[in-house]
Amino acid sequence: MTQKKISTATLLTMKQQGEKICALTAYDASFAKLFDEQGIDVILIGDSLGMVLQGHNDTLPVSVDDVAYHTRAVRAGTQRAFVIADMPFMSYATPEQACMNAAKLMVAGASMVKLEGGEWLLHTVRMLVERSVPVCGHLGLTPQSVHVFGGFKVQGRSDLQAEQILEQAKALEKAGIQLLVLECIPSPLAKKIRDALTIPVIGIGAGVDCDGQILVMHDMLGVSANYMPKFSKNYLAETGDLRAAVSQYINDVRAGDFPGAEHSFQ
């Protein structure tokens, strides 16, 4: 593990060298510092805060100001890890709106912003990158589209849907994203996408073959207010200590022991 500050170049090198990328969400300085000290590579200020902090049933009520507030807190506790901030629901409906709101998150301390969606975002991605805003894409189960999907459901199980997700991933990379999150898709599809892209691919419920893994910290610690997703694991119950839980999660991801088949979809 390098002790140098993580950058997009670091993450790309890790993919090229076959070193797994370890990521967690965080929302405050104390947990960000703990995760950073244990060696986490990426910290995401997720709009998941709407569910795990605010108690909503989905991520839709989260505002840009909410994410900016927590981004400032996370940045204050972070020295080494790469910090990504989620763009909330309808905060990037137009390219112009995306630029304005991404600027707020970058000023708050993010080094990259994350957007959910495929083909319709290509112009937005190009505009952001042209204006020096690094972008992370997000495909598969995109939580901001939960009402379109009819719930939190695995995506990409049909041949047509799988091909669409693969093509969207390629198009997003061509448009300029430097990182891609794949959520709740079959493991073979995630591997196919990882092999097709030169940028790092981070999975959550997408199998062990991604270039790295991310979990919501409350799921990883077994303290989520709602439920434990199939793709997560309670590391606090296994270790009995916060720091040991984070360390074990990192070790398991690096070794390819997490996620197992029981945390994945076929």
Binding residues for 3-methyl-2-oxobutanoate: 47-48, 86, 114
Pick the closest to residue 143 from 54, 49, 234 (CA basis).
Answer: 49
Separation of alpha carbons 29 and 76, rounded Å: 6
What b/e string do you get for 185-202 counting C-beta neighbours within 10 Å, with b at 16 or more? bbbebbbbbbeebebbbb
Q: Determine the residue type at 138.
A: H
Handedness of CA 149, 153, 159, 164 (dihedral sign): positive
Separation of alpha carbons 117 and 64, rounded Å: 18
Phi then psi for 47, rounded to 5 degrees? -70, 0
The SS3 call for residue 250 is helix
Q: Name the residues annotated as catalytic.
A: 183
Which residues are annotated binding-site positions for Mg(2+)? 47, 86, 116
Pick the closest to residue 202 from 216, 220, 190 (CA basis).
Answer: 190
Token pair in block for residue 259: 């996620």
